Structure 1
Amino acid sequence: MTVRVLVVDDEPLARRGVTQRLSAHTDMQVIGEAGDGETALSAIVDTTPDLVFMDVQMPGMGGLETLGLLSPRERPMTIFLTAYDQFALRAFEVHALDYLLKPIDDERFAEALDRARETLATRRDRDLSSGLQALLATRRNTPSHASRFAVRIGHRVAFIAAADVDWIEAMGDYAGLHVGGKVHLLRERLHQLARRLDPAQFMRIHRSTIVRVDRIAEMEVLSNRDSLLRLRDGTPLRASRTYGDALRAALAG
């Protein structure tokens, strides 16, 4: 059983200390790091980790506030980290799994991991006994697709519904979500995001462009076999001939 872990702390050295300790445990997989509460909130929504190591005190939004913005069902198992024990009561009010004081004691760290393993195993056994085994098997054969994205707007985190996205373009390490004439940056490369999109709704038309199929109003084939698309809001997009056959089939369907 692999436990997917997110490490959140505004101090890079503190994050490194946690990740190095986790590397000694083969069942722990670090899937990401965050240096502030806003980034952590986005990462939790996007990657749904099993376990989060979360610093209590961070600039801007602290760990307790971050977890408090999530509904009980959205909250992952959380082990809080802090140099002060005065936050212990509040940590357990948001159902924290454990609470470690800095500097971290290796024995206490191992105990917290054991508690995480036991809790996760209990949850999974409970789900299976409730008749979810067949549902989980179905989901393995039918991948789920992203229905919303968490993006940062200043110091806020906004949630963009996939159904509201008109098209998406590659912007280096980010994907630009075009929604009603506005662009929202998602911290994810386009090729990674493409795997999470519903192929019945979104289609790659260029190595740097994905479009929502139902937003396409016109298609014109150019002399070099590329295509010029015009969306319903008038936006022109160029489609590479590499994707031409699949695009025409999607539009015909």
Structure 2
Amino acid sequence: MLKVLIVDDEPLARENLRILLEAQPDIEIVGECGNAVEAIGAVHKLRPDVLFLDIQMPRISGLEMVGMLDPEHRPYIVFLTAFDEYAVKAFEEHAFDYLLKPIESARLEKTLVRLRQERSLQDMTVLDDTQQALKYIPCTGHSRIWLLQMEDVAFVSSRMSGIYVTDCEGKEGFTELTLRTLESRTPLLRCHRQYLVNMSHLKEIRFEEKRPGGAADARRANGTGQPPLSEEPERGDWAVKWRNRDRLSGRIFHHEGNMISNDILRSLRYTLKTNNNGLVSIFALADAPVSAEQLVPWLKKEDEEGFARCPDIVLSNFLNGLIYAKRGKDESAPPLAVERRVNNNIVLKKLRIAFSLKTDDILAILTQQKFRVSMPEITAMMRAPEHKNFRECGDQFLRYFLRGLTEREHAKS
């Protein structure tokens, strides 16, 4: 069965194609869209096998839209056009096929035969990432697609929970595109393995020899700090440390790198004053057996030899085991949920349960660390993502919380 998404701004054209496709027993039409913005969200949500895509559409053309899709999950592309002149351009974009309007059933059948053959070989067609520069970066929200123009992009960051795009005003959105795709399709410059930056928004880069690794401060053209980055040189002579005003605390801080599962697991080992064997026993409580040897690469830093990224599901199992270790395990109760994708909010919630913390306790821990945050902000981080007042738990929040939690636990012993 081939799952098909139809994208055309003309309702009659969509209807004609739908009628032809519905006559095919192995075709499932999963959706129809009247513009590229709707289509981007539908592709991410519905994951069609084939995209029948009109080339000429208002604001964002079909050719431009294809460049906004993640190459690793892009469906077969069959372009639709009323003008034969677009055929050459369609194949330059490595489309699977193109159909001239009005679509003839015999010509459509030839395309479907080829699609079935290709599908049986599992040979997914993708675009060459270097073909066309992006004019917009599509960012997904709870119920919308936000198209951010390239000139308004300040930087892009890779976090434990995904790829995020921040504009010049500090507004942030999640995108399905990878850093690799954005680096190859935009003018953004990679100055850190987890960051791309728009150089047109920088005012200056100030190097200070006193800092470790010869780090530097970069300032935005509007006078405000850029998001924090710090790393040894990876491309040319780039070794930058950005400074930014932390929105929660209102303080200038120096970022220490993005939090990943390895950092959290390593931090909690120190909090618990335990060793690898102690961690093994905690995993066992969650019925997720691991060996001390398996833990070694998961506890290393990214720049250490033998480093391996700790999978999210491993961290989730450990946090569940920690809850059982601290609170006891009721064998008659259903097991705790194991998340395959873990973000900072999930980590914070599970640690709150494990250490029997109230919101007041979390506030006190962060206040002790001189990290200013309000009670409502903490409460918002505990809410479900779909809640209107939900707030993302940032890396700096979690880092200061883990430090404060460690001091709190060590003071007890």
- Could you state the TM-score of these two structures normalised by the residue count of structure 1? 0.55
For 2:380, give the aligned amino acid: T
CA contact 1:215–1:231 (8 Å) conserved in 2? no
The reply on whether 1:200 has 2:345 as its aligned counterpart is no
Q: Distance in 2 between matches of 1:124 and 1:100?
A: 21
Counterpart of 1:163?
A: 161
Counterpart of 2:146?
A: 153
Unaligned runs of 5+ residues in structure 1 are 126-148, 165-181, 186-197, 203-211, 221-229, 240-253
Please state whether the residue corresponding to 2:3 is helix, strand or coil. Answer: strand
Q: Distance in 2 between matches of 1:101 and 1:37?
A: 19
For 2:44, give the aligned amino acid: V
CA contact 2:6–2:31 (8 Å) conserved in 1? yes
Show CA shifts across 1:199-249 (max 9, x none).
5349xxxxxxxxx543435669xxxxxxxxx8862328789xxxxxxxxxx
Please state whether the residue corresponding to 1:235 is helix, strand or coil. Answer: helix
Q: 1:162 to 1:9 in 2, by over 3 A?
A: farther
Equivalent runs, 1:29-178 vs 2, <5 Å:
29-123=28-122, 150-151=140-141, 152-153=145-146, 163=161
Aligned residues: 173
CA contact 1:215–1:232 (8 Å) conserved in 2? no
Unaligned runs of 5+ residues in structure 2 are 125-138, 163-170, 175-312, 314-336, 360-374, 385-413
Q: 1:72 to 1:105 in 2, by over 3 A?
A: same
Q: 1:219 to 1:47 in 2, by over 3 A?
A: farther
Q: Distance in 1 between matches of 2:4 and 2:20?
A: 12
Q: Distance in 1 between matches of 2:38 and 2:5?
A: 11
- RCO greater where, 1 or 2, for CA within 8 Å and sep 6 or more? 1
Please tell me the root mean square deviation across aligned C-alpha atoms, in Å.
Answer: 3.9
CA shift for structure 1 position 122: 1.6
CA contact 1:4–1:30 (8 Å) conserved in 2? yes
CA shift for structure 1 position 71: 4.8
Higher strand share: 1
Counterpart of 2:306?
A: none
Counterpart of 1:13?
A: 12
Q: 1:76 to 1:238 in 2, by over 3 A?
A: closer
Q: 1:52 to 1:215 in 2, by over 3 A?
A: same
- Give 1 or 2 for the bigger CA radius of gyration: 2
Q: Distance in 2 between matches of 1:162 and 1:11?
A: 40
Q: 1:118 to 1:236 in 2, by over 3 A?
A: closer
CA contact 1:38–1:155 (8 Å) conserved in 2? no
Please state whether the residue corresponding to 2:161 is helix, strand or coil. Answer: helix
Identity across matched positions, percent: 35
- Could you state the TM-score of these two structures normalised by the residue count of structure 2? 0.36
Counterpart of 1:138?
A: none
